Structure 1
Amino acid sequence: MPDAIEALPPLREVIAQHDLAARKSLGQNFLLDLNLTRKIARAAMPWAAPVIFEIGPGPGGLTRALLLEGAPRVIAIERDERCLTALAPLVDAATGRLMLHPGDALEADFAALAPPPWQVVANLPYNIATPLILNWLAQPDRIARMTVLVQKEVAERLAAPPGSKAYGRLSVAAQWRHNVRMLFDIGPKAFVPPPKVTSTLVELQPRQRPLAEADPDRLERVTAAAFNQRRKMLRAALRPLWSDADARLQAAGIDPTRRAETLTIEEFCALARLL
């Protein structure tokens, strides 16, 4: 089976044959260097689930790498019909280990495609990366690990510690129930067409238990209120939630004059428990 995959035409030939000019509307930036795609696949190992979901495989660079590195089963979600046609020979070469699912990943029912747990390994389209990740963060019991290539700015927000400029709602949502690691950068020249930004591979591994007890919806309400007015003191930023925000903050042991970016995730959880 690896021989059949390695015997497939080079990716640039596949792109030319199927007229796969990247479409900006789909957030497409193809990664064709198999050395890099195999590096990404190896970074996702050891395989943590029987099914690997890939989003936006394009001409199949990362898909080939996942299969060559021994991924047990890959389900690739692709909304571009041109790419689905171009990937058909790879499906044949994979002899049952690759399934293509046509459609929008934001609307896909992963559970209908395969029973959990799953692992996600993907070069995410820039225009849907954040909403996809937020959706997956809410399913730590279903997704064993995420290894995703995103804009470096998004990776920094996911991994940012309290007190940093990048720390915000996404940081809290990610780190509350996941360990987040930035693995390595990939420059624009590695992609076709080259984006204007550097990309970063980031790993999100579910924690055995959250950093602190909190209801996820209430935690989101608190962080949204706090960071929507991040330049204001918390006593003012949280007033939409509580008319007596000053007293509530003091009850949680938090100085009302602090600002959102200085709070730890555990402190945000304490506020969520007061709602």
Structure 2
Amino acid sequence: MVKPKKHLGQHFLKDNDIARDIVKAVKQHKKGMKILEIGPGTGVLTQFLMEDYADDIILIDLDRESINYLEKHYSEIKENIIYGDFLKLDLRERLGEEYIVIGNFPYNISSQIFFKILDDKEKVVEVVGMLQKEVAERLASPPGNKNYGILSVLLQAYYDIEYLFTVGREVFDPPPKVQSGVIRLVRNDRQALDCDEDLFKRVVKQGFQNRRKTLRNALKPLNLTDEVKQLPVLNKRAEELSVKEFEELTNTVAIGRINEV
């Protein structure tokens, strides 16, 4: 048996019907496209991935006990079972030109997982994942919602995000203190933003850093000119802006900043 480890944020799903539904949510797979499962644990998702994608699965887990279990029970794909930290390893060459990410993501690193996915957005065509319900809702949240935040904007710039279903605490071992949510991200057609991407990230992060303030006050550290400060859009709060409006704001900020020393 593999024992769940608190320091790894492990809560093992024990409901096969839910596991099957998560795997069925994968829609973008093509023959030969790799599917990376993050944190397979005892293989509750893996068993169903094996039914249709056995030739294309790659598993990665930081728990040596889980790795030993998986290598024993899925010996036919042993060479595709990786012991390591997804956040630290560079797997892009092994994953090919396009790949899919799936997993019951540890709650304590779920945001970090999505930031790394963003770094490889040109290759990640789909993500199906279970994470803390409020985080899942945040990623899928539209503008104007209190859940809408930094990662919502950055991910929605490149992905169409759908909240699929909620999972109760009772189907995990051990039961987490919160409910879980399953979401699907599908890569959109956007190849690049209509603005400087690094500045876009800075504007979004700065805007939400003090989300209760208007953008006029939240963006003060960006050294905006007096002319830009008078624009009506700065009367809004960050949570009110769509991705497109953040792009437009970024272009305005780019030409309306006092030169930084």
Give the TM-score taking structure 2 as reference length: 0.90
Distance 2:120 2:228 in 1: 30
Distance 1:24 1:135 in 2: 23
Paired residue secondary structure (1:109): coil
State the match for 1:196 in structure 2.
177
- State the Cα distance separating 1:71 from its structure 2 match: 4.8
Q: Does 1:258 align with 2:236?
A: yes
Q: Does 1:106 align with 2:84?
A: no
Aligned residues of 1:52 and 1:73 also touching (Cα < 8 A): yes
Q: Does 1:85 align with 2:63?
A: no
Within a 5 Å distance, the mapping from 1:24-35 to structure 2 comes to 24-35=6-17
Report the aligned-residue RMSD.
1.9
Q: Does 1:270 align with 2:243?
A: no
- State the Cα distance separating 1:113 from its structure 2 match: 2.6
Please give the per-residue CA displacement for 1:176-225, whole angstroms capped at 9, x wherever unaligned: 11100001111111111010111111111111116951232111100111
The verdict on how the C-alpha distance between 1:62 and 1:233 changes in structure 2, with shifts beyond 3 A counting, is same
Distance 1:70 1:115 in 2: 16
Please give the per-residue CA displacement for 1:147-166, whole angstroms capped at 9, x wherever unaligned: 11111111111111111100
State the match for 2:143 in structure 1.
162
- State the Cα distance separating 1:173 from its structure 2 match: 0.5
Q: Which runs of 5+ in 2 are unaligned?
A: 255-261
Aligned residues of 1:234 and 1:259 also touching (Cα < 8 A): yes
Aligned residues of 1:30 and 1:193 also touching (Cα < 8 A): yes
Give the TM-score taking structure 1 as reference length: 0.85
Which of 211, 225, 228 is equivalent to 1:248? 228
Aligned residues of 1:145 and 1:204 also touching (Cα < 8 A): yes
State the match for 2:5 in structure 1.
23
Distance 1:194 1:98 in 2: 32
The verdict on how the C-alpha distance between 1:195 and 1:249 changes in structure 2, with shifts beyond 3 A counting, is same
Please give the per-residue CA displacement for 1:57-91, whole angstroms capped at 9, x wherever unaligned: 11111111111244541111111111111112232
Paired residue secondary structure (1:88): helix
Provide the aligned length of Structure 1 versus Structure 2.
Answer: 252
Worse overlay, 234-243 or 193-202? 234-243
Report percent identity of matched pairs.
36
Worse overlay, 39-48 or 98-107? 39-48
Within a 5 Å distance, the mapping from 1:53-202 to structure 2 comes to 53-92=36-75, 95-96=76-77, 99-202=80-183
Distance 1:84 1:106 in 2: 17
The verdict on how the C-alpha distance between 1:206 and 1:232 changes in structure 2, with shifts beyond 3 A counting, is same
Q: Does 1:41 align with 2:19?
A: no
Aligned residues of 1:73 and 1:97 also touching (Cα < 8 A): no
Worse overlay, 213-222 or 120-129? 213-222
Distance 2:229 2:47 in 1: 52
- State the Cα distance separating 1:97 from its structure 2 match: 8.1
Q: Which runs of 5+ in 1 are unaligned?
A: 1-14
Distance 1:230 1:32 in 2: 38
The letter of the residue matching 1:45 is K
Aligned residues of 1:182 and 1:201 also touching (Cα < 8 A): yes
The verdict on how the C-alpha distance between 1:130 and 1:97 changes in structure 2, with shifts beyond 3 A counting, is same
